[in-house]
A = this chain, B = another copy of it.
Amino acid sequence: MVRVGIIGASGYAGGELVRYLLMHPKVEITYLASGTYEGRPLSDAYPSFLGQNLPLCEKYDAKHALEKADFFFQAQGNGIGMKVAPELISNGRKLIDIPADFRLKDLNQHKKFYAMNHTAPELVAESVYAISELHPKEIAKARLVANPGCYATSAILALAPLMKQKQICLGSVIVDSKSGVSGAGRSKLEVSGLFCEVNEGIKAYGVTTHRHTPEIEQELTLLAGEQVTLNFTPHLIPMNRGILSTAYASAGQGKTLPSASEMVELYKEFYAGKPFMQVLDCGKQPCTKNVLGTNFCHIGVVVDERTNRIIVTCAIDNMGKGAAGQAVQNMNLMLGFDETTGLMSPAVYP
Contacts and interface: CB of A to CB of B under 8 A. Distances in A.
Interface core residue of A196, A233, A276, A291 (most chain B CB under 10 Å): A196
B285 A203 contact: yes
Interface stretch (A69-77, A135-143, A237-245, A328-336): A237-245
Taking residues whose C-beta sits less than 8 angstroms from the other chain, chain A's interface range is 35 or more
A125 interface: no
Copies in the complex: 4
A178 B200 contact: no
8 contacts: A51-B276, A51-B296, A52-B346, A178-B237, A197-B289, A207-B311, A229-B306, A231-B307
A176 interface: yes
Given A22-B345, A22-B346, A231-B248, 14 more contacts: A46-B346, A47-B280, A48-B291, A52-B344, A174-B309, A186-B196, A203-B285, A207-B300, A208-B302, A231-B304, A231-B307, A237-B238, A293-B293, A348-B348
B48 A207 contact: no
A297 to B, nearest CB: 10
A199 B346 contact: no
Contacts of A48: 289-292, 294, 296, 346-347, 349
